[in-house]
Structure 1
């Protein structure tokens, strides 16, 4: 069956909380991208999203992914604490720390940071989270520099917990882009998609920023087919409605 997709902005400004069980989603910082002058320069920063397990309780929790070589166990442990999707650029450090503090989450409590891709406006503050596991693109690293193979592909997502997955969504920065999907929220499935979507109304403008537009179009269609809410890389979250 074919579907017509329409979207509309999700009302509210960050921090914007979408409650859920077993995970809630908090859009901490809204990304932006603004032209600067006539030469094609852009002033930009990426959206930052926090995934909070219902069972996690502050304060005092500390991210402690296992140091062993098993990727599935490491990911399950990392998914049991706060998961941060992207960090914004280094210039947003203070805003990020303040937004986390408002959720009673300190940097040491973050158990996993997922970088949707390696651009500086999305992973520029990784250094704030030395106790967290890091999944940047397809590289999974535990604290101390232990890298683990894991088998992530478009056909094989990584499971962090019930309804919490990392998807391979290639295109924008090449083959390594990922998105985080959170099922079971009050609004359905939320996908923090990085720059798979620049913003809700990005039309065809995303193509000029894409290293692989064919793959990115495939990723966009996958997200639109599954998500009820999308958090794009450089704009406010938006709802997705599929109609016959």
Structure 2
């Protein structure tokens, strides 16, 4: 039997806290994309998400930073022991980001890992706020000071940061090296912070025009839909993925199954991006 997917916007103001163990997810700033009505111009910025390990403040004083003597697996795990930022917004959002972090009692110096889902300016414009953090921007992983470490991230092999915390290769929007961060074990299930794999909820008619590799991005979108319960998109409100079993059809008294549309699942959206919006 196939299943039907539909999406529902998450209610609540930003910052949106999704508690969990061992990691909680806080959407600090909600991305947007507003058409300006002339020449196809769009005013836009990307979502910014904070991932907080449980009791991180209790271990911060004795936490060893990643070093050049670590293997990449150990360096990634150490980098994930403190607060993590997924995307930083554009440089114009600097003060808003600092204020949002302060309201969570997190200083820029507390952040130990910054993940940039892809290299567009509205998603990695504030990397300079976190010189003491390890950086994973697309597929480039480096320690503070710029020491780059090789790894084997691929669609078949995610990077393990901690229990239920992974970085996935989700190519398409910005090319072959986009990534997403997937957090299991929250109060809402598995949360996927996906950059522009999903521009916003209900972007089915718009994302292809903005994709460098629509075939790869379609594959990434299906993977996220099959695994996540909540998606934090690049330019809109977080949304739930709701799964319902579909009723089998009958023909001539015999039972048949509805043909799945996406990885064994049929997808519909109950929410749309702003009509006419061009998204980055």
If the TM-score is normalised by the length of the shorter chain, which range does it land in?
Answer: over 0.9
Farther off after superposition, 68-77 or 133-142:
68-77
Give the corresponding residue for 2:53. Answer: 53
Note if contact 1:46-1:88 (Cα within 8 Å) is conserved in structure 2: yes
TM norm structure 1: 0.97
The alpha carbon displacement at 1:63 in A equals 8.3
The alpha carbon displacement at 1:203 in A equals 1.6
Greater C-alpha Rg:
2
Give the corresponding residue for 2:216. Answer: 215
Give the corresponding residue for 2:254. Answer: none
Give the corresponding residue for 1:38. Answer: 38
The alpha carbon displacement at 1:204 in A equals 2.1
Unpaired stretches in structure 2, ≥5 consecutive residues? 246-280
Q: d(CA) in 1 for partners of 2:103 and 2:222?
A: 34
User: Would you identify which runs of 4 or more consecutive aligned residues in structure 1 move more than 6 Å?
Assistant: none
Q: d(CA) in 1 for partners of 2:60 and 2:99?
A: 17
Task: Indicate the RMSD between aligned Cα atoms, in angstroms.
Answer: 1.5
Note if contact 2:60-2:82 (Cα within 8 Å) is conserved in structure 1: no
Residues 55-94 of structure 1: per-residue CA shift (max 9 Å, x gap):
2017975882233251100100011111100000000000
State the SS of the aligned residue for 1:141. Answer: strand
Indicate whether 1:87 and 2:104 are aligned: no
Give the corresponding residue for 2:122. Answer: 121
State the SS of the aligned residue for 2:128. Answer: helix
Classify 1:215/1:108 alpha carbon distance in 2 versus 1 (closer, same or farther; 3 Å). Answer: same
Unpaired stretches in structure 1, ≥5 consecutive residues? none
Q: d(CA) in 1 for partners of 2:161 and 2:51?
A: 11
- How many equivalent residue pairs? 244
State the SS of the aligned residue for 2:220. Answer: helix
Note if contact 1:65-1:132 (Cα within 8 Å) is conserved in structure 2: no
Give the corresponding residue for 1:2. Answer: 2
Give the corresponding residue for 1:172. Answer: 173
